[in-house]
Every structure is written in structure tokens, then in C-alpha cells.
Amino acid sequence: TKTYNICLLPGDGIGPEIIAEGVKVLDAAGAKYDTAFSYTEALLGGCAIDACGTALPDETLRVAEASDAVLLAAVGGPKWDTTDPAKPRPEQGLLGIRKALGLYTNLRPVQIFNALADASTLKPEIVDGVDMMIVRELTGGLYFGRRERFYDEDGCGTSGAAGQRAYDTLEYREYEVERIARQAFEAARKRRNKVTSVDKANVLETSRMWREIVHRVGAEEYPDVELEDLLVDNTAMQLISRPVDFDVVVTENMFGDILSDEAAQITGSLGMLASASLGDGTALYEPSHGSAPDIAGRGIANPLAQILSVEMMLRYSFDMNEAADDIRRAVTAVLDEGWRTGDIKQVDTPADKIVGTVAMGDLVVSHL
Amino acid sequence: TKTYNICLLPGDGIGPEIIAEGVKVLDAAGAKYDTAFSYTEALLGGCAIDACGTALPDETLRVAEASDAVLLAAVGGPKWDTTDPAKPRPEQGLLGIRKALGLYTNLRPVQIFNALADASTLKPEIVDGVDMMIVRELTGGLYFGRRERFYDEDGCGTSGAAGQRAYDTLEYREYEVERIARQAFEAARKRRNKVTSVDKANVLETSRMWREIVHRVGAEEYPDVELEDLLVDNTAMQLISRPVDFDVVVTENMFGDILSDEAAQITGSLGMLASASLGDGTALYEPSHGSAPDIAGRGIANPLAQILSVEMMLRYSFDMNEAADDIRRAVTAVLDEGWRTGDIKQVDTPADKIVGTVAMGDLVVSHL
Ligand SMILES: CC(C)[C@H](C(=O)O)[C@@H](O)C(=O)O
Ligand SMILES: CC(C)[C@H](C(=O)O)[C@@H](O)C(=O)O
């Protein structure tokens, strides 16, 4: 029996409830394929601020680095919302662990489960067959560039008035663009062989550099993969006008944040979407949705995105593709049988088919 | 008879064809309300690069500054596409004139014409009643911050490898946020009294400053207007899940570029959407769509967004609200009668109701 060490980061809000279902499914899948998982829980986000005064305690990073994979639920909540730069914020935990583990690739698959196709606010003929992979650069750009706020006594001559000034820096280096481009081309080779590279090359210097490097990597190393460029504003339109046409979409950190959420919303069921954050060492898996503090502790949260993040873990960290396929099949079967959590219930869902977090986890396990 | 001087910037692609229809409608509206318009044409974008080697010739700026309003069609095309920083690009003309005229407020109304409601890729019950105003800051942020690309010999210790580096700077000053916030609150007072301020305050320092200033201006000067904050990634989702709930959306330049295009696409007919760019002097009006080089010169382009930009000019620059209402009514009537250009034709549009650019302009004039 092979054993993997998993770092569990339940985080805040519904986090602890859904991660328990992820663990349940991971154990069940492991049992079937003669693999054992051992778990170490650690603090990240708001709960870490409350306990240790920082969103990413050293101990958490130590546990994560020593693990074979990290399973995260979600962090944040109104309790810790602040614009005071002196106060710690839950997101710093998320951003900190991404940077510390070098998780430069964020993979966000966007697919429609047939049973939930009508959840989309888009017309059925538009979303039918949507299957794309957003590849978001995760450790560069505006998220990690130099930033500052200060009081400018003389307004720098631009306006008469003195006042506050602030800046953030969008910065990229050649190797950062190269490596994320390779991830996108590799992903495309396992899919429909097409990459859409998104930038704002008509305005940004980083985008012009991005475009040149992506094309060089494509021409030199992946001449078999189709490559197109699309401006970010145009992409925001095309994602909702012809989502089926996208295969792999690769873009920088902030554009990726915006576009991956837009793409997720196309499905109409954010509670079903998982993501993987990969680097050169330990990888991290999490749902695409947030910590939903409004429904925390009530046992009604949808654990399926967390369970599908376990599917991605099996695929990307442990090469257990059969086990991963089993989980996806199980989730599909549970949905096809009509079982729903509150967030994905439909107008015609009978009351006795609406289940809570634990029951949904049990249903998936029973189909494995 | 009152006379206004209008600077015409036909630009590239379909620009010259559609601006002619805008002028036709402006003249007709003027005739009805005892107002004359005199026109001076100037070069901007690709055509200016071809003629003068620069996208914004001094002469153009001189004419624009001396005018009572500027009517722009569209600039750009593949002919001038380049990532070489040494070469002029058409967009520099657009960005240059925005900055030179101090056009810090970009207003993009998003409304559905009933006759075209089925053009949306969103379900009818989702788009029914959509009526929002995107207020985009237009002369700050990443668009105008310091940017640079250089070769870094030692890779700055971050990676072993030497290579290219580039950065763009997202910068805002207090007065820039204050004045765009006021524009948003003022717009809301004339509408449904609600402002959604969009930022990324959980990551960016500029966003945290933005949020504080917008709240201060709101509390001090517009306590009667409802104000909510929404993160940019969440906004990208909510725009397609519940677009009807938005009234005024205010945001910084780059977020505004992305979100206004996404919001425009909700209508499914980009060829119908106009925008106004306002500052403290001469204002500029243009369609939200581009120069469509693929159909240029064929007489089939849709002139309605250009005509609706004339509507905005009458409203915002000349306080001619009745004339503006007339234009909107005329466009609505033409659509209700079933007339369509190619881009907005429906499956059941009879061939003899599909008209070209000039005929569409004539139809609008005939309804004035
Ligand atoms: C919480 C926030 C900092 C984070 C991000 O912007 O990356 C989130 O939106 C995400 O996409 O994972
Ligand atoms: C052409 C481009 C520079 C411009 C922008 O990004 O502002 C355009 O997309 C717009 O929205 O007017």
C-alpha cells in the first residue's frame, strides 16, 4: 500500500464542512486502488489570523511543503474585511501559500454537467458542449508587484491639490511567461490542441512581451498546437457569445482572475467547479467558489467542487487517472439521479431529493 | 439659429461609412430644433499614421480642442498591428486624445432594444429589463502609468536565467478617484439611485484607496444614493447571472474596459451601443464597437451605434434632450418595423428588410 501525506487547510466559513467530504471521497478512492492517505490539518486565512495573528503561519507552510499535496477549502469572510494595510487579511494566506509553494499554474476546467445544463443563464444552444480549460498565471503580475500608498504634498503638479496616491505594479519576466505558456500548450495537447492567449497588447508593455514570448514558445516547441491571440476585452465578450469555441485559454494573473470567474459563471453552478494550482513541488487543490460565510455551519453547503478538487489531485499529483475518472463518474451519476444541494436545485427538484453536505458526500462515496 | 462646431474623426475601417450616417442624423435633428452644426474633419488612428506617421497629429488635437464636441467613428485594423514599441499604433491616437482632452469619464449605457432582445446569448428572462450605465475612469490606471521593457542580465536573482522584463504601473491619485465617483453618483441620481463600485480591494492598494475615497465622497456628498462594493471577479460573474440588478457601475480604467465589453455583449448586439467620454472641456462620442476592417467599404456596416453616439452628444454636450429623445425613438421605431443591418438580422428577418449603412441612416432620418 502506497501512502501519501495530505495537508488539509479547511479555512473559514463552509470550509471545514466541505473539506470533510473531500477527505471521505479521497479515502474511498484510495481504498479501491490500494493507496492510503494520511492527513495533517493546518490553519490558513481568517482562522489563522484569529489563532496566530497572521493568515499564513510558518507552521502551515512547513506542513504544506512537507506534504505530497495540499487540499484547501476556502478562506475569508466579512469578519476580516478591511482596507487598513496594517491589518492582516485572509487572502494574504492564499496569496502567500501560492507564492511560497511556487504555484505558478492555476488550472480551472469549465465543463457543463448535463444534469445541470439549465442552471446556466445562457441559452442551452450556447452552452451545450462547453469544455474549456483556463490556465491562469498565479504568482506574478499585479498580485505580487511592488505597491505603495502615500500622501503627496504637492500633487506632483498634475492637479493643484495635494492628496493620497497609490500604485500597484504589473510585472513579468521572460521565464514566467515561458513556463506558463508551456503549461498551456501541454494542456492543449491532451485536449483539442488549441490555445487562446489573452492579453491587452494594444495598451500594455507586459502584454506585448507576453504575446511575443508565447508565440516564440509555440513556434519553437509546439508547432502542432493552434495558437490565437485575443484581447482581454474582446475575450470577455466572446466567452459569453461563443463559449464552445474555447479550448485552452492562457492569461496573466489578474485577467485570469476575472475571466475564469466569468467562464465559471457560464455553467451557472459555481458550486461544481474545482481548480488545481501547480508548481515544481507540492500542488494545491481547491474549489473555485468562496467560503460562503452566510451559510456556514448549517450543513447545507455543496461539497461537490471540493470533491472534484480531489479528483484533480488524484490526476495531477498522483497520476491516479482511473480513480479520478471514478470520482467524476460518481458525481455525474449522483446528479443524474436527481440529488441536489440547495445551490444547484432546480424548479422541478422534489424536496426529498435536496440533501445536505454530509449526505451529498455519502452519495458520491456510495457510487465509487 | 445656434451653431455648434463638430470635429469629425472618421478613423479607419467602417469609420467613414458610419460617421456619414451620424452626420446625416445630427443635421436632421438640428434642423428640427433650429440648431446648425458645422463640421471639420481630422485624422486619427491608422489613417493618421499613413498620412502623418503619427496616430494623433497636432492638427487633429487643435481641431478637437477648438470644437464644441468630437464625433469619432473607430480606429485600428490588422494593417497597423505590431508589438514593436518603436512603431506607431492606431490606439495611441485614441488614448492620446482621451488624455489630451482630459476625458476622464467614459459613460457606456447598456440597454436592450425590445426588437433585438433575442439577440442576447442569455435567456430572455435574464436580460429582460437590463438597463445599466457603466462609468469607466478613462485617463488613469494601467493605461497611462509608467511602463518599460528591458533586458535583465542577471535575472535579478529570482531565476538563474537572464531575460526580458517588462512592467506597467497602475496608479491613481485621490482627485482622480473623487471626480469619477462624483460622476457615478450624479448619474445614479438621474437613474435608479444605486452605485456599484468595482475594485479588487483584497489584492490591490489602488483598490483599497479607491474604495475608501468612493465611500467618503458617497457619505459626504451623496448620502441619498445607495452604494455597494463588488470585487471585479465577482462582478464578472454577477453581470451575467443577474444583469438586471445593476444600475450604475463605476470602476477604474482596465476593469472598466473588460466589464463594459462583457456588459455590452449581454445585449448580443454590440452594433447598437454608444459611449460618451467626458471631461471638463470638449467631449467625445463614439460607438462601443471597433472598426470592423473585414467589412469595410462594402456599405453594409451598422450605423446605429454611431447614430446613438450622436444622441449622447445632444444630451451631454448640448443639453438638447428632446432632440436626443427623438433619435432614440426613431431608432426604436426603425427596429420595431423590422429593418436590420446584417449584424443584427434575426433568423426570421425577411431578405427585403435587410438594409445597408446608408439606407439604415435614411430610415432613422425619416422617423425624426
Ligand atoms: C481571494 C482572492 C485573492 C483570489 C484571487 O484573486 O486570486 C480569488 O479570487 C481566486 O481567484 O482564487
Ligand atoms: C482600442 C483600445 C485601446 C480601447 C481601450 O482599451 O480603451 C478600446 O478597447 C475601448 O474600450 O475604447
Task: Please check whether residue A98 touches B, CB under 8 A.
Answer: no
- B108 Cα to the center of ligand 2, angstroms: 12
The answer to whether the Cβ–Cβ distance between B169 and A164 falls below 8 Å is no
**A262 touches ligand 1 (CB under 6 Å):** no
**A257 touches ligand 1 (CB under 6 Å):** yes
Q: Mean pLDDT, to the nearest integer, of B229-250?
A: 97
Task: Please state, for a pLDDT cut of 70, what percent of chain B lies above it.
Answer: 98
- pLDDT tops 60 at residue A158: no
Q: What are phi and psi of A285, to 5 degrees?
A: -125, 135
What's the whole-number average pLDDT of chain A? 96
Q: How confident is the model at residue A83 (pLDDT cuts 50, 70, 90)?
A: confident
The strands making up B147-152's β-sheet, listed across from edge to edge, are: A147-152, A163-173, B163-173, B147-152
| Choice among A78-82, A97-101, A140-144, B189-193 with the minimum mean pLDDT | A78-82
- pLDDT tops 80 at residue B242: yes
Q: Mean pLDDT, to the nearest integer, of B65-71?
A: 98
- pLDDT tops 80 at residue A35: yes
**B158 touches ligand 1 (CB under 6 Å):** no
**B97 touches ligand 2 (CB under 6 Å):** no
**What does the pLDDT read at residue B324?**
98
SS3 assignment, position B32? helix
Whether residue A194 lies in the annotated active site: no
**What does the pLDDT read at residue B301?**
97
The answer to whether the Cβ–Cβ distance between A83 and B201 falls below 8 Å is yes
**What does the pLDDT read at residue B6?**
98
Residue A328 and residue B25: Cα distance in Å, rounded? 58
Residue B293 burial (CB count, 10 A): 18
Q: What are phi and psi of B151, to 5 degrees?
A: -100, 125
**What does the pLDDT read at residue A218?**
98
Q: Of B257, B343, B345, B362, which is the active-site residue?
A: B257
CB proximity under 8 Å: A 324-353 to B:
none
Which residues of chain A make contact with B173, given a CB cutoff of 8 A?
A: 152, 155-156, 158-159, 163-165
**What does the pLDDT read at residue A161?**
73
Whether residue B261 lies in the annotated active site: yes
Residue A183 burial (CB count, 10 A): 19
CA count, 13 A, side-chain hemisphere, B25: 37
Residue-wise pLDDT for B299-315, tens only, equals 999 999 999 999 999 99
**What does the pLDDT read at residue B156?**
56
Q: Where are the alpha helices (DSSP H) in chain B?
A: 15-32, 46-52, 58-66, 90-100, 124-127, 174-189, 205-221, 232-241, 253-267, 304-316, 321-336, 357-366
Residue B348 and residue B354: Cα distance in Å, rounded? 11
- pLDDT tops 90 at residue A66: yes
Whether residue A348 lies in the annotated active site: no
**What does the pLDDT read at residue B160?**
59
- B362 Cα to the center of ligand 1, angstroms: 50
User: Which of A173, A207, A234, A241 is most worth mutating to test chain B (most B CB atoms within 10 A of its CB)?
Assistant: A173
From the CA of A365, how many Å to the nearest CA of chain B? 31
**What does the pLDDT read at residue A252?**
98
Residue B173 is placed in which grid cell? 491619485
CB proximity under 8 Å: B 190-209 to A:
200-206, 208-209
Q: How confident is the model at residue A319 (pLDDT cuts 50, 70, 90)?
A: very high
**What does the pLDDT read at residue B158?**
55
Q: How confident is the model at residue B155 (pLDDT cuts 50, 70, 90)?
A: low
The answer to whether the Cβ–Cβ distance between A165 and B175 falls below 8 Å is no
- For chain B, domains (ranges, CATH) are 1-112+269-368 (3.40.718.10), 121-135+173-267 (3.40.50)
Bridge partner residues of A39 (DSSP): A6
Mapping DSSP onto H, E and C, the string for chain A reads: CEEEEEEEEEECCCHHHHHHHHHHHHHHHHHHCCEEEEEEECCCCHHHHHHHCCCCCHHHHHHHHHCCEEEEEECCCHHHCCCCCCCCCHHHHHHHHHHHCCCCEEEEEEECCHHHHHHCCECHHHHCCCEEEEEEECCCHHHCCCEEEEEECCHHHCCCCCEEEEEEEEEEEHHHHHHHHHHHHHHHHCCCCEEEEEECCCCCHHHHHHHHHHHHHHHHHCCCCEEEEEEHHHHHHHHHHCHHHCCEEEECHHHHHHHHHHHHHHHCCHHHCEEEEECCCCEEEEECCCCCHHHCCCCCCCCHHHHHHHHHHHHHCCCCHHHHHHHHHHHHHHHHCCCECHHHCCCCCCHHHECCHHHHHHHHHHCC
Whether residue B257 lies in the annotated active site: yes
Q: Is B224 annotated as a binding residue?
A: no
**A221 touches ligand 1 (CB under 6 Å):** no
CA distances from B22 to A308, B15, B35 (A): 53, 11, 16
Residue-wise pLDDT for B171-230, tens only, equals 999 999 999 999 999 999 999 999 999 999 999 999 999 999 999 999 999 999 999 999
Judge contact between B133 and B109, C-beta under 8 A. Answer: yes
- pLDDT tops 90 at residue B31: yes
Residue B109 and residue B111: Cα distance in Å, rounded? 6
The residue whose CA has the least distance to atom 5 of ligand 1 is A257
- pLDDT tops 90 at residue A86: no
Q: Of A257, A343, A345, A362, which is the active-site residue?
A: A257
Ligand 1 atom nearest B200 alpha carbon:
6
